[in-house]
Amino acid sequence: MDARGRRRKCTHILRVALVLVATFAGTALLSFGGLAAWQGYTENAGNSVGAGTLGHTNKVGTQSCTSVTSTTLLNQSGNTCAAIISVSGVSPSSPSTLATGAVTITSTGALNSTFTMQMPAAATGTLCADLLLAVVDQSSVADYAATALTSQMGATSIRDSAGATTWPGTSPGPAGSDTYTFTITKGPSFNTDPADAGQSCSFAILFSQQAA
C-alpha cells in the first residue's frame, strides 16, 4: 500500500474513533443528568404507620391497678390489684350470702376491644366444695351463674355498661366501663359438713383485653 492509501486508511480509522467517542459522551450526558437530559421529580416523604393504644384499669374500692402486656408482669410492686372478695369467720349461723365484692373495669386505650374474665387456675382449699360463686354486671345481667368453686371459671365474655361485647376505646370515646359484683353463697352442704370448720378457699380472677 502506498503512502496515499495509508493516509486515507488512517483518516477513516480516526473518523470512526471520533464518532464512537462522541456517541459515548452523549450517552453519558443523558445517563448522568447532563445538560442534554430533560427530567422531572416528585417525592412523598414522611410516610408512617402508628399503632393505637390498648389498656384498662381494674378498681376495687379505692385501690386501682393498670393492665400490663404480659401475665408475667401481673401484681408487681406498685401495680397490685386488690382482692374482690375477702371474708373470714364464716359459719353455719352466717347468712346464706357470705360475701360480696365489686370490681370496675374501664378501658383506657384508644382502640375498641373485647374483655373476658376467668380463673387462671382452679380454686384451692377444702371449703371450695361448699361455696358458690356468681357474677353480675351493674345492669344485673348474670355474667357467671352461681357455680361451685370446685369448677374453674373458663374465659367468660363480659359486656360494658351499654351492654356491648365490643367496648369502645377513648377515641372517639367515651371509653367502655362496667362494674361487676362477685357474690359468694353457701353451697347445699355448707351448714351440715363438719369438715368445713377451719378450712378456707382461695382463687384469682384474671381480666383479659383483646383489641377488636
- What digits encode the pLDDT tens for the residues 77-123? 999 999 999 999 999 999 999 999 999 999 999 999 999 999 999 99
Radius of gyration of the chain (CA): 38
Half-sphere exposure of residue 72: CA atoms within 13 angstroms, side-chain side: 0
- pTM, full prediction: 0.80
Share of the chain above pLDDT 90, in %: 79
Which residue pairs, CB below 8 angstroms and at least 24 apart, start in 46-52?
52/109, 52/110, 52/111, 52/169, 52/171, 52/211
- DSSP characters over 108-128: -SSS-EEEEEE-SS--BSGGG
- Model confidence band, residue 3 (pLDDT cutoffs 50, 70, 90): low
Asked if residue 189 lies in contact with residue 92, where contact means CB atoms within 8 angstroms, the answer is no
The yes-or-no verdict on residue 1 having pLDDT over 80 is no
- Model confidence band, residue 173 (pLDDT cutoffs 50, 70, 90): confident
- Which of the two residues, 11 and 106, has the higher pLDDT score? 106
Q: Can you name the CATH fold of 56-211? A: Immunoglobulin-like (2.60.40)
Cα–Cα dist 107/67, whole Å: 10
The yes-or-no verdict on residue 11 having pLDDT over 60 is no
Give the residue extent of every domain in the chain.
1-36, 56-211
Cα–Cα dist 114/56, whole Å: 11
Cα–Cα dist 94/152, whole Å: 25
CB-CB neighbours of 48 under 10 Å: 4
